[in-house]
Structure 1
Amino acid sequence: MKLGPPIAAIVTGGASGLGLATARALISEGVKVALFDRNAQVGPGVAQEIGATYVEVDVMDQASVDSGFAAARAANGQERILVNCAGGGFGGPNKTVARSKEDGAITPYPIENYVRTIELNLIGSFRCIVGSAAGMMTLPPTDDGDRGAIVNTASVAAEDGQIGQVAYTSAKAGIVGMTLNVARDLAAEGIRCNTILPGIFDTPLLGRAKPQVKAALSAMVPFPKRLGMPEEYARLALEMIRNSYFNGEDVRLDGAIRMQPR
């Protein structure tokens, strides 16, 4: 897909981190970008700074997503690009069932945290895929046959889930698992779907970490021995969008790291 002023895009989780870097990269190519983000304190200012449209959206709520698409399309036209970066976990690390070292008490995983993590990461991504693809199907194909391109964000946790990550791993593995299916479902319509599996990236989530913690995480990466930069994620996302033969793929972006059990 050739990027430029006629193209509109939606980036979920676009007010920070990987989503913000991707939005900046798309805008630098002349693409009109709408940021879906539920952080109404930060989102409008970020959108004004980079020249995007901010829409307050909670991807866990269908009505919010529907109204978000309507608002983005009213501002920028029907999008040909969707980049799903909204995600996270709830409740911190929890084992499937834990035993206390102090008194031997047995604690099952809090199911409500599991459900919310799946809702945000997996169902939220799929909800946006469905809404965006339905709109893309109304467009004529571009010269290279594309009606649209979708990029999802999973995690290396999808393949290397660590102790205490069962909910997050389940959600991200689900995103990986649906990628080829979505690509096949939408192939006849000229809509492509790919997924990036980031490793340890220097995002706002790690911004609060102490320098020694960041140094230890960087040392775990075979090469280069540093945290990933959001701009590196953005460059891969743009390649997936531009390259019309890139379809149905799940690609790790992690400096060759393989996460250990803990």
Structure 2
Amino acid sequence: MELKHKVAFVTGGASGLGEATVRKVVALGGKAVIFDLDEGRGQKLVEELGDTVLFVKGDVTKEEDVSAAVEAACAKFGGIHLVVNCAGIAIAQKVLSKHGIHALESFNKVIQVNLSGTFNVIRLAAAKMINNEPNQHGERGVIINTASIAA
């Protein structure tokens, strides 16, 4: 996908792989929406990169947060062409240790953010992307999902 004049919606966009993605999109002439919980880092990127970037604070697991961010992206930039899901968490804990067994709640939180949150963003962004004019290959947009404890 040619990124010039395109809009990327990047979850976890305030740090790590997400931040690098935002910087690359802008460097290639695109616009980026940073969707992240870290307002301080997100706003700092907006100050640095200017009006080609929008920060929206939110949680990928909350439908209302994702919907509001997708709407904000469309309102400011006219649509979304690329989604890059970088938001994720990892809880470094052994399944069994001298302190006992791994808490199921911790595992469920990882699944909620990394799996359900990713799907939540995919479905809500795709509902807007379907309205994009198809390119010469018939594509209306691209969705990229990452999986990394270091993302």
TM-score after normalising by structure 2: 0.91
Once residues 56 and 151 of structure 1 are traced to their aligned partners in structure 2, the CA distance between those partners, rounded to angstroms, is: 20
Aligned to 1:38: 37
Once residues 97 and 140 of structure 2 are traced to their aligned partners in structure 1, the CA distance between those partners, rounded to angstroms, is: 52
Once residues 137 and 17 of structure 1 are traced to their aligned partners in structure 2, the CA distance between those partners, rounded to angstroms, is: 29
Instruction: Please tell me whether the aligned partners of residues 58 and 66 of structure 2 are also in contact (alpha carbons under 8 angstroms).
Output: yes
Percent of pairs with identical residues = 36
Instruction: Give the alignment of 1:39-188 within 5 angstroms.
Output: 39-51=38-50, 52-90=53-91, 92-95=92-95, 98-100=96-98, 107-155=100-148
Deviation for aligned residue 1:72: 1.4
The aligned length equals: 149
Instruction: Return the index of the structure with the highest Cα Rg.
Output: 1
Specify every segment of 5 or more residues in structure 1 that has no aligned partner in the other structure, as ranges. Answer: 156-167, 169-200, 204-262
Deviation for aligned residue 1:30: 1.0
Deviations 1:37-85 (A, max 9, x none): 1111221111221231111111121111111111111111110100000
- In 2 relative to 1, CA 29–108 (structure 1 residues): closer, same or farther, beyond 3 Å? same
TM-score after normalising by structure 1: 0.54
> Runs (4+) of structure 1 moved beyond 2 Å?
none
Deviation for aligned residue 1:94: 2.4
1:41 is paired with a residue whose SS is: helix
Deviations 1:124-145 (A, max 9, x none): 1111011111111111201232
Once residues 127 and 19 of structure 1 are traced to their aligned partners in structure 2, the CA distance between those partners, rounded to angstroms, is: 17
Aligned to 2:7: 8
Once residues 140 and 132 of structure 2 are traced to their aligned partners in structure 1, the CA distance between those partners, rounded to angstroms, is: 6
2:21 is paired with a residue whose SS is: helix
Instruction: Please tell me whether the aligned partners of residues 15 and 47 of structure 1 are also in contact (alpha carbons under 8 angstroms).
Output: no
- Cα RMSD for the two superposed structures: 1.7
Deviation for aligned residue 1:111: 0.9
Deviation for aligned residue 1:99: 5.0
- In 2 relative to 1, CA 94–10 (structure 1 residues): closer, same or farther, beyond 3 Å? same
Once residues 84 and 23 of structure 2 are traced to their aligned partners in structure 1, the CA distance between those partners, rounded to angstroms, is: 12
Once residues 112 and 30 of structure 2 are traced to their aligned partners in structure 1, the CA distance between those partners, rounded to angstroms, is: 29
- In 2 relative to 1, CA 110–45 (structure 1 residues): closer, same or farther, beyond 3 Å? same
Deviations 1:122-177 (A, max 9, x none): 1111110111111111112012321010111113xxxxxxxxxxxx7xxxxxxxxx
Once residues 55 and 99 of structure 1 are traced to their aligned partners in structure 2, the CA distance between those partners, rounded to angstroms, is: 39
